[in-house]
A and B are shown apart, each in its own frame.
Chain A
C-alpha cells in the first residue's frame, strides 16, 4: 500500500493560521483565489437553485398561478445563466486554480495577478445580473440562448445587463484559460513530462483550449446583439435585412463547447478521485488523457446539432449528426476506463466516492440520451421539449454538479485543513440522488409525449408527472441543507485533517493541510507516479508513465 508518508521531503509544518480576511482581499495566492472562486460560485448556486425551485412551484400545476408569465420567463432565463456562468464554469476554474499548481509542483499559477483580476470580475458580474430583476420590465426573459428577434423586443434594460454580465464572465473565463494553459505547459517540475501529469491537468488543459478558441466568438455575437438592442443596427434583426440564424451559429459555436468546458474539469476530478478511493491505478491513463483532447477538438465541430429544426440545410444536419455521434466514442472510453478502475479495487464508499460513482451513473444516462438526440429524425421530434431539459440536467447536474460535490468532499480536508462529517455527507448524497432522479427522470417522458420546454402553462394531461418532478425538485433543494451545515460546521470545528487523509499519491497530499503559502519548500520530489496504487510499496524507483511499454501495461508492471 501507499503509506501516509509523514517524513516526505515535501511535508513541512503548517505556518501560523492565516487570517480569514485574506479571502476578501485582492490576494494573488492561487489557493486563496481557488477558495474565493468556489465559495462565490456556491453562493450563486444557491441563488440559481432558488430560481429553479420557483420555476418548479409554478409548474406543479398546469395553470399560471404562482408568478406572472413575464416573471416566469425571467426566472428560467436567469436560472440557466447563473448555473452555467456563475456556478459550474467558475467552480471548475476554482478547482483548477487550487489544484493545478499543487498537482504539478509549482508555487503558484503562471500569472498570479491576472488570476486575481479574473476572479474579481465574477462578483460584480453576478450581482449585476441578479439586480436586473429590479430594473423596468425586469430581467432578461428570452432564455439563456437569448435568440433574436425575441431578445430585441423584451425588456431592453434587463437584456442589456444580461449581455454585459455574460461578457464580463466570458472575459474572466478567457483570462483563466490563458493562465491554465501556460501553467500546465510551462510550470511542471522537472521530470514530470506531459504524459506523467495527473489527469485533472489534462482535463483542465482540454477545457482551457476550448475556452480560448470559442469564448471570443460568443463575445462577438453578444457585442453585435448589444448594437442591435441599443443602437438600432440590424445584424440579427430581419426587419433590417439581418439574419437571426447567424446569431444562433455564433452563440452555439461557444455554447456547445461550453458544455465540455463545464464537464471536462469534472471528468478530470473523477479521474483523480476514483483511483484514490478504489486503491487502484487509473485504467488506461493515456486513453483517458487523450480522449479529453479528442472531446475538446471534436466539441468544436458539433454546435449546429442545437439547430436541427432551425434554418439548417439538410447536408449540415447530416454532418453535425455524425460529428456529434463520434463524440460518444472518446466519452465512452472514459466511462469504461472509470468502470475498469473501480473493478476489482478495494472501494472506500465515503461521500467523495459515492458522489464520484453517482457521477458515472448519472452522466451515462445523459450520454445515452445525448446519442439519441444527435439523431436528426428523432431530434426533430424532441427538440425544445422536456426530453432536452432532462438530458441537459443529467449531463450538467448528474454530471457536473455531482462531480463538483465529489471534488468538494475529496479536497475539502486539503483546502481547509479539517475533515467533513461522513454521516452528514452520506445523507446529502442520498437526498441529492433521490431528489435529482425524481425531478429529472420523468421529464424524458414529458418531452416524448409532447410537452415543450420554457412554458409557464401546459396541457393538463401532464399535471401528475409535473407534480412528481416538482416534489423531486423540493427534495433536491432541501438536500443542500445538510451539505451547508456540514461545510460550515466542519470549516469551523471539524476534526483536524492530516496532510494525507486518503493515502493518495498526487503531490498536493505531500504537503500540510492546508498547504503553506508557497506550497512547497524547495523543489518537490516525485516519489511515485500519480496512480501507483498497489505498486509503490516495494519502494522501487518508479518508471514514468511516459516510458511504460504496452507489455508493461498488460502485465501490470511498472518496472
Chain B
C-alpha cells in the first residue's frame, strides 16, 4: 500500500503538534504551587516554552531514531549515499523559523517581566539619580561636605535593583515594606512600620502589595521563594528589592540560592502568607500596646546619639531586647561570661 509522502508528512506534523501541546498543557506538574498574582504568568510562559521545546525535542530525536532504523548501512553495501550538499530554501527555512520562535519568546518574556514589575523605573536602574531616598542603603559618596542640600547636586542614592511595582501600582507606595538582611546563615526581617519589629520568619498579609528591601551583611546571598517564582541576590553594598502580592495563604520556604559558605544549604526559613485576621494577631503579639510619646511612624532608636562604648553590654542591648521581647535575664546570661553557667 502506498500512502503519498505529503499525507504522511501532514500526519506526522499533526502528531508532533498534538504531542507538544499535550506536553505543554502539563507544565504545572513540573512546578510547585503558584502563590502570587504574577507567578501563574511565569508558569504560562514556561508552558509556552515547554510546548515549543517538546515539539523540537520530538522532531530531532524522532529524526535520529528514524535515521538509525531506516538509513543504517546494509551488510555488504559499501557504496556512498547521495551527494546532496545543501538546499538553500530549506536552510533559509530552518534559519527563519527558530529566529521567529525566539523573537516571539522574547516578546512574551518582556511582557511577563513588565507585569512582574521588572520594568518599574524605580527598581530597574532606568531612573538612576531619581529621588528614591526613603529606604535602602544610601551611600552618600557625593553628598556635599558641608551638609547643605541645596539641590545643586542630585542626591547620590543607589537605586535598589530588582523587581519593582507591577504596572498598575507604579508610583504607589507598597502596603507593607520589610527590610531583609541576609547574613551567614540566616535571613533577618525588620518591619519599619511595626516599630522596627525583628523576626526570623517573614509574615505577610495575603493580597497586599509587599516590598522587600534586601541587603547583605557579609557575602552574596539570594532570596528565593520558589512558590512565588521570584529571586533576587542580596549584595553587600548594593541594595536590591523584590515586590509581590501573595494571593494564596500558606507557608512557603524561603531559600538562599547563592552559595554563601559551608551552611549555605541550611540557610532557609519560612514565609507565612496569612489571612488579615491571622496577620493582625501576629502583629498584636509582636507589638506591645503603644506607649505614650512613641508613635509607630518614628521608631528611631534612642541610642543612636549615645556614645555606645560607655555602656555596658546589658545597657547597650536594652533597647533591642525590649523590641525583641527578650527577657533581661536571658541577655544577662548571654553577656555574663562563665558566671551564669551552671
Contact = CB atoms under 8 A, between A and B. Distances in A.
Given A244-B220, A284-B91, A349-B72, A553 B85 contact: yes
B84 A283 contact: yes
B244 to A, nearest CB: 12
A421 B70 CA distance: 25
Interface residues of B, number: 89
Interface string A366-393: 0011011001111011011100000000
Nearest to B112: A377
A535 B84 CA distance: 10
Contacts of B260: 150
Contacts of B220: 147, 149-150, 244
Contacts of A467: none
A287 B90 CA distance: 12
Contacts of A444: 30
Nearest to B236: A238
A317 B232 CA distance: 13
B46 interface: yes
Contacts of A150: 219-220, 259-261
Given A280-B83, A454-B259, A375 B105 contact: yes
A452 B94 contact: no
Contacts of B226: 381, 449-450
B283 interface: no
Given A333-B95, A360-B60, A375-B105, A455 B265 contact: yes
Contacts of A281: 83-85
A550 B56 CA distance: 28
A361 B261 contact: no
Interface string A224-260: 0000000000000011010111000000000000000
A361 B91 contact: no
B266 interface: yes
Interface stretch (A194-202, A339-347, A425-433): A339-347
Contact of A313 (B49, B88, B125): B125
B138 interface: no
Interface in A318-336: 318, 321-322, 325-326, 328-329, 332-333, 335-336
Contact of A280 (B84, B105, B112, B263): B84
Contact of B126 (A243, A309, A313): A313
Nearest to B66: A343
B32 A378 contact: no
Nearest to B49: A372
A378 B31 CA distance: 12
Nearest to A147: B220
A558 interface: yes
Contact of B233 (A1, A239, A310): A310
B253 interface: yes
Interface stretch (A49-57, A398-406, A410-418, A456-464): A456-464
A315 B236 contact: no
A532 interface: yes
B162 to A, nearest CB: 8
A278 B81 contact: yes
Contacts of A344: 71, 81-82, 84
Contacts of A322: 106
A445 B255 contact: no
B265 A456 contact: yes
Contact of A311 (B67, B72, B238, B259): B238
A477 B77 CA distance: 37
A284 B85 CA distance: 6
Given A150-B219, A314-B124, A533-B83, A368 B109 contact: no
A534 B53 CA distance: 35
Contacts of A149: 218-220, 236
A64 B263 CA distance: 10
A145 to B, nearest CB: 8
B90 to A, nearest CB: 7
A2 B237 CA distance: 66
Given A313-B125, A322-B106, A378-B46, A454 B81 contact: no
Contacts of A2: 80
B110 interface: yes
Nearest to B124: A314
A154 B236 CA distance: 17
A457 B159 CA distance: 35
Nearest to A455: B265
A556 B235 contact: no
Contact of B118 (A286, A314, A340, A554): A314
A243 to B, nearest CB: 7
B64 A339 contact: yes
A325 B106 contact: yes
Contacts of B46: 372, 378
Given A143-B259, A149-B219, A336-B94, A375 B109 contact: yes
Contact of B49 (A143, A375, A531): A375
Most buried by A among B68, B72, B105, B229: B105
Contact of B95 (A332, A380, A385): A332
A422 B218 CA distance: 56
Interface string B251-285: 00101111111111110000000000000000000
A31 interface: no
Interface in B214-260: 218-220, 222, 224, 226-227, 229-233, 235-238, 240, 253, 255-260
B290 interface: no
14 contacts: A73-B262, A149-B220, A150-B259, A279-B73, A284-B85, A311-B240, A333-B91, A333-B95, A343-B63, A349-B68, A368-B56, A368-B57, A381-B226, A449-B226
Interface of B: 30-32, 41-42, 45-46, 49-50, 53, 56-57, 60-61, 63-64, 67-68, 71-74, 77-88, 90-91, 94-95, 98-99, 102-103, 105-106, 108-110, 112-113, 116, 118-119, 123-126, 159, 161, 163, 218-220, 222, 224, 226-227, 229-233, 235-238, 240, 253, 255-266
Given A150-B219, A284-B91, A318-B113, 12 more contacts: A285-B85, A314-B125, A325-B105, A328-B98, A347-B72, A371-B49, A377-B112, A377-B113, A378-B46, A380-B230, A383-B231, A452-B255
Going nearest first, the 5 A-B pairs with the smallest beta carbon separation are A313-B125, A455-B265, A314-B124, A450-B226, A238-B237
